Structure 1
Amino acid sequence: MGGCEAVRGLFAGDNALTALVPAERIVIGDVPAGFPVPCIALFSISAVDRNTLKHGAVKRVTERVQATVMAPDSAVRQLVQRTAKKAADGKMPTVEGILHVTVHSIGAGADGRDPETGIHMGTQDFRVSYNEI
Structure 2
Amino acid sequence: MTGVDIVGALLREDPAFVAMVPTPRIKAGALPENVELTAVLLRLISSVERQPLKRGATIRTTDRVSVTVRASSYRDQRAAIALAKKVCAGRTGDIGGGLRVSILTAGTGPDLRGAGNSFEQTQDFTVSYDAAA
Matched, 1:6 2:10: no
Corresponding position of 1:74: 74
**Match runs of 1:1-133 below 5 Å:** 1-92=1-92, 93-96=94-97, 98-114=98-114, 117-133=116-132
- Count of paired positions: 131
Residue 78 of structure 2 aligns with an amino acid whose one-letter code is: Q
Residues 10 and 96, structure 2, Cα contact 8 Å, conserved in 1: no
Structure with the higher fraction of residues in strand conformation: 2
TM-score by length of 1: 0.91
CA distance in 1, matches of 2:12, 2:52: 35
Identity, in percent, stands at 35
Question: Which 5+ residue runs of structure 1 have no aligned equivalent?
Answer: none
- The residue identity in structure 2 corresponding to 1:131 is D
* Whole-angstrom CA distance in 2 between matches of 1:56 and 1:30: 35
TM-score, normalising length from structure 2? 0.91
Contact 1:26 1:40 (C-alpha < 8 Å) held by counterparts: yes
The more displaced of 14-23 and 60-69 is 14-23
Contact 2:52 2:58 in 1 (8 A): no
Q: Which whole-Å deviations, capped at 9, do the CAs of 1:43-86 have from their partners, x for residues lacking one?
A: 00000011244454211100000000000011110001101110
Structure 2 gap segments, 5+ residues each: none
Q: Deviations over 1:74-112 (max 9, x none)?
A: 11100011011101111124223x321111111101110
